[in-house]
Amino acid sequence: MTSTGFLGIMLLLAVPVSYAKNAIDSVRIWPSPGSTRIVFDLEDTPEYSYFTLHNPERLVIDLANTEKNFDFATLASKSPLVKKLRYSSAKDKNAIRVVIELSSKLDSTLFALPPTEPYRNRLVIDLDDKNAPQSAPTVVKDNRSQQSRDIVIVLDAGHGGEDPGSIGRGGTFEKNITLNVAQRLAKLIDAEPGMKAVMTRSGDYYISPNKRPDIARKHKADLLISIHADAFTTPQPRGASVWVLSMRRANSELGRWMEKSERHSELLGGAAEVIQDTASERYLTQALLDMSMDHSLTTSYDLSRKVITKLRSITKMHKKIPQAASLAVLTAPDIPSILVETGFISNPTEEKNLNWSQFRQQLAQSIFSAVKSHFTESPPDDSLWAKQNRHNRTHRVRSGESLSLLAQRYNVNVGAIKAANNMNSDVVQIGQVLTIPRT
């Protein structure tokens, strides 16, 4: 080798090589009512920082060690919150700066996610308009008075948008199954006079599990039903199941609500206005919240048993009795809530069934039949169903039930039940049929 060639190699080695190790594979925009999620799919874990600018409103993101390889001009935004995405001058030659032009001042949350099928590394940007409604407005079917209102049932299709839920071996996304079953169930409910369905999501977008009970409360729901599809690491497990809130989670949620006196009115309605938030009256708030929670849990368990009975006629049950769990979507202490696992999407046979239109309709019909049976027996007192069915109800006593428990469930006092049944004591027998008076 000549001295000139050797010198050239040494100079090349001495010059620092400039390169970016990361790159943007794709960008996805998931609009939903009142919020939008933007997802950057990346080759490697993102190194990022961000800040906001005003007049006009912009979110600026710096991605270190990243190539300027993605063409934002090809990206169309269907979100009313996002005007456009573009590049700006980066901090250094190995970085890129992305500017998201916003339609108004928004709350933003950014976080990275590791690879999970079917996605690679991701940078997630959540944009929220706190002044916008989180779901479609409630549609009133007719001009009935408040004394004969519709029974409101909120249907929660699990997962959505960036979150596909479980994925079957044949590539089926749980989020698509849950939305379709919920839509079918909503049609059945809306076709029933005196009932109204509200969807937590009506399309393929993401809503935090913690926000879903808030949507139910906003619509003054009488019931929340969350639809899911189970999965396991092996294909053998199969069958449907129904879940309710665990007592441990219920107690912790009740404690959380007790600590936030400004939220008592959300649970207690007008009663909260006459309760002074003082130490001497705090026990009354506690008692009323306890009663609200007890009623919700009891109703949830009773309904879940009915749903299991109906589902058993169309599919195998993975769990034959209601299961209790600490699930974020089942945290409304004032609203009866159940979560229905429609089957194991990880089981090839059940994945095929869940993709079958007729089976989805059977699932919706089974859940609806259980809901209709429940509200036929126990319609809310101010509902049209209660007005049309003013005759006394009956209840067959089951193991573990007492007069006080039944009084809470049917929102009547123990004395009224005893009077309607000519009872001289509080003792009830398993199998005994009781008349439950209307309040």
If one compares 390 and 266, the residue with the highest pLDDT of the two is 390
For the chain, give every domain's residue range: 24-128, 146-377, 391-436
Q: Which residues contact 251 (CB under 8 A, 6 or more apart)?
A: none
d(CA 132, CA 115): 32
Q: Cα(77)–Cα(36) distance, rounded to whole angstroms?
A: 10
Answer yes or no: same fold for 24-128 and 391-436. Answer: no
- Does domain 24-128 fall under CATH 2.40.10.10? My reply is no
Q: What is the pLDDT of residue 265?
A: 44
Retrieve residue 245's tokens.
Answer: 């809130």
pLDDT of residue 317: 94
Q: Compute the average pLDDT of residues 181-200.
A: 96
Q: Can you give the pLDDT at residue 249? A: 54
Q: Is the predicted pLDDT of residue 354 greater than 80, yes or no?
A: yes
Average pLDDT, stretch 407-426?
Answer: 85
CA distance 263 to 260: 6
CATH superfamily of the 391-436 domain: LysM domain (3.10.350.10)
Determine contact, residues 22/40, Cβ cutoff 8 Å. Answer: no
Residue 374 host element (H or E): helix 357-377
194-245 pLDDT, tens per residue?
Answer: 999 999 999 999 888 888 888 998 999 999 999 999 888 888 989 999 988 7
Instruction: Provide the terminal-to-terminal Cα distance of the chain, rounded to the nearest Å.
Output: 103
Calpha distance 225→422 (Å, rounded): 37
The architecture of the domain spanning 146-377 is 3-Layer(aba) Sandwich (3.40)
- State which amino acid sits at residue 157: A
The per-residue DSSP string of 69-136 comes to: ---GGGPPP--TTEEEEEEE--SSTT-EEEEEEESS--EEEEEEE--BTTB-EEEEEEEE-TTS-SSP
Of the candidates 91, 88, 86, 90, which has an alpha carbon nearest to the alpha carbon of residue 101? 86
Helix (H) or strand (E) holding 186, with range, is: helix 174-190
